[in-house]
């Protein structure tokens, strides 16, 4: 529960409004530990979900990284989480274009896909939207002892943005 009006300053910033309206944007949200980045991320996600709830052409997805959950935050774990979010429409139904060979595997275990198939399915699934917002919170907590994993995650995310209308909010 948040106090009414919390975070409105962020939502009203010209930088946020530009990120919201322009295609393929990256909003960087840095801050020291305890500054409230996770609260701000949740405010942005809530705002986006509320704003685009009825728009089937816009998808909001998010990743929350935490140093306490590093065992389930390898790049492929996070990408499969993202795939799961994109594959389900706002109505809760699986996208009709998700290829039939993947449907059963995806329903059972989204991480069962190898890296190439997963990134291919992610790209294919993302193409069904006219705009995608992805909020990544705690990026600084994503496997701090393995910077290669973080580089791989960011590389895959930015590959999506190269070809598709994806905007990111990166909080660290």
Query: Which pLDDT score is estimated for 166?
Result: 97
Sign of the four-CA dihedral 123, 129, 132, 136: negative
What confidence score (pLDDT) does residue 141 get? 84
Query: In this predicted structure, what is the pLDDT of residue 96?
Result: 65
Structure tokens at 45: 């996600």
Query: What are the tens digits of pLDDT across the range 55-70?
Result: 999 999 999 988 787 7
pLDDT at 107: 59
End-to-end CA distance of the chain: 23
Instruction: Tell the residue number behind the tokens 């070809």, with chain if given.
Output: 163
Question: CA torsion, points 70, 74, 79, 82, in degrees to nearest 10?
Answer: -10
pLDDT at 106: 57
The reported pLDDT for the residue numbered 152 is: 92
Tell me what pLDDT residue 100 has. Answer: 55
**Among candidate residues 153, 158, 170, the one with its CA nearest the CA of residue 79:** 153
Token pair of 104, please? 């059963």
Residue 142's pLDDT is what?
Answer: 81
What residues of the chain score a pLDDT lower than 50? none
């Amino acid at each position: 529960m948040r106090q009414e009006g919390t975070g409105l300053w962020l939502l009203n910033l010209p930088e946020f409004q530009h990120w919201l309206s322009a295609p393929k944007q990256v909003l960087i949200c840095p801050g020291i530990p305890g500054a409230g980045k996770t609260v701000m991320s949740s405010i942005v996600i809530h705002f986006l979900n509320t704003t685009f709830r009825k728009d089937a052409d816009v998808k909001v997805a998010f990743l929350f990284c935490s140093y306490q959950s590093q065992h389930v935050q390898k790049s492929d774990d996070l990408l499969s989480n993202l795939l799961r979010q994109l594959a389900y429409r706002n109505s809760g139904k699986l996208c009709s274009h998700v290829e039939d060979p993947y449907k059963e595997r995806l329903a059972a275990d989204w991480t069962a896909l190898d890296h190439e198939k997963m990134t291919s399915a992610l790209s294919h699934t993302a193409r069904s939207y006219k705009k995608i917002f992805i909020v990544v919170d705690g990026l600084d907590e994503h496997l701090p002892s393995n910077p290669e994993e973080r580089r791989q995650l960011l590389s895959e995310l930015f590959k999506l943005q190269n070809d598709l209308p994806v905007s990111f909010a990166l909080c660290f």
